[in-house]
Amino acid sequence: MLQAVLFDLDNTLLGNHMDTFMPHYFALLGDYARPIMEKERFLQELMVCTKATMESTDTAVSNRDIFWQTFQARNQIDPNELEQFFDKFYQTDFWQLQSVVQYRPEAATLVKACQEMGLQVVIATNPLFPRRAVEARLAWAGLPVDTYTFDLVTTYDNMHSTKPHLSYYQEILQAINCPPEEALMVGDDWDWDMLPAAALKMHRYWLPPDETTSPPDSAAVTAYGSLTHFADLVQSGWLAQLAEPTQQSMD
């Protein structure tokens, strides 16, 4: 019996192509950071510290602490002061990026439908951003946290590994007390969403980049298609059938 649905955020509940979003994000953040550090150097440090966070396998240390410990070791700047400084960025300048993402009306409908079924709903976005940045993107998706209560929203503050490490998914399942075979992962990234979920024997719904793309490995997904197709499956009662995994195409 299905207990939980884990939703990726970018290019799943929110249209957000990283090739467009990240250059705009880096430009805004780099300009904002100028009082602290020259822009190009800051962006280089940001990439190094993010890479260290993603490569960390120490599940006793949060992603936040890995990031800022690495930054402090390289730059001898107090991370407590920097966090307060950048928190204002996510309250203000970061919201300019709403113009480069795409609202998907199916997202709120899906989340509401899952919650009305009594399922736990997790926002399983790669936890490299602080909570305020994730909450902003949820608001852009039509899922503000003051309206929708999620069982877990993964951020760099509350997680101890990142995608595609299995430990990321294992930590989520432990936090919501759900066996992997009773959870469904919904996401667009084959390597970061589908393959780890398949390795843990979770159910998987994959959103391919376009309607002509088939799964690289049909055994690695339970079903696939657009977010609209997934909404149709949910309305048809498909989630109740997931005790016996089957593959369904976009048809």
State the pLDDT at residue 117: 96
What's the pLDDT tens digit per position in 26-39?
999 999 999 999 99
* Buried b / exposed e along 57-73 (16+ C-beta atoms within 10 A): eeeeebbbbbbbbbbee
Q: How many helices (H) and strands (E) does the chain have?
A: 9, 8
Condensed to tens digits (0 to 9), the pLDDT of residues 181-202 reads 999 999 999 999 999 999 999 9
**Confidence at residue 216, expressed as pLDDT on a 0 to 100 scale:** 96
Contact call for residues 203 and 2 (beta carbons, < 8 A)? yes
Q: What is the DSSP string of 142-211?
A: T--TTT---SEE--TTT-S--TT-HHHHHHHHHHTT--GGGEEEEES-IIIIIHHHHHTT-EEEE--SST
pLDDT for the residue numbered 81: 84
Residue 249 is predicted with a pLDDT of 45
Low-confidence ranges of the chain (pLDDT < 70): 243-251
Q: What is the predicted pLDDT for the residue at 104? A: 97
Residue 103 DSSP class: E
pLDDT attached to residue 243: 63
Q: Which residue has the tokens 């989520």?
A: 172
pLDDT at position 6: 98
Number of residues assigned to the chain: 251
pLDDT at site 248: 47
